[in-house]
Amino acid sequence: MKKLLILVLTLIVAACTFQTKHRGYVFPDDLESQVAGIKTTAQLQDKIGDPLAKTVYGDTVWIYYGMDENYRGPLPHTYDNKTVLLAWVRGNQVVKTQILHDKDLPEITMDDDETQIPAAVELNAIQELFNNIGRFSPAGMGQ
């Protein structure tokens, strides 16, 4: 009985791992001071790297994003240390930079609903099974 209890407790503790994964850019602690002296895109790429995204419409803005994703066993994922670096670029010159942190960013939640696709055909599992009959060639036929 004692071995069973130890096994169950070990499994419970193993399921409650605490892990943090970094997503996006790993910004230095002194990001504000490093970005303050940047005047050209070459300097920006040398210090930070290539942007994750560039805007298509309006002013050209280079976007850098980084955050920590926290795993806490069976609990929902949480995100913190979110940082966004925006750099307005004109030609090869960096015109303006802005750094946004957790408190500056809006809280966005995903809706659980699904968007309906017009004219979509929804089949149940049995219909899917019969729908696939004859679609695949036997193995080794080279088709």
pLDDT in tens, 42-77: 998 888 889 989 988 888 999 999 888 888 777 777
**What integer pLDDT is reported at residue 139 of this predicted model?**
64
**What integer pLDDT is reported at residue 35 of this predicted model?**
87
Tokens of 80: 């913190």
pTM of whole model > 0.75? no
Containing structural domain, residue 82: 37-106
DSSP of 35-72, one letter per residue? Answer: HHT--BHHHHHHHT-S-SEE-SSSSEEEEEEEEEEEEE
Q: For residue 126, tell me if it sits in a domain.
A: no
How far is residue 48's CA from residue 5's CA, in Å, rounded to a whole number? Answer: 51
Which residues in the chain come in under a pLDDT of 70?
Answer: 11, 13-16, 136-143
**What integer pLDDT is reported at residue 140 of this predicted model?**
59
**What integer pLDDT is reported at residue 111 of this predicted model?**
76
Q: For residue 29, tell me if it sits in a domain.
A: no
Tokens of 92: 């090869």
Q: For residue 72, tell me if it sits in a domain.
A: yes
> What's the total number of domains in the chain?
1
Q: For residue 122, tell me if it sits in a domain.
A: no
Q: For residue 79, tell me if it sits in a domain.
A: yes
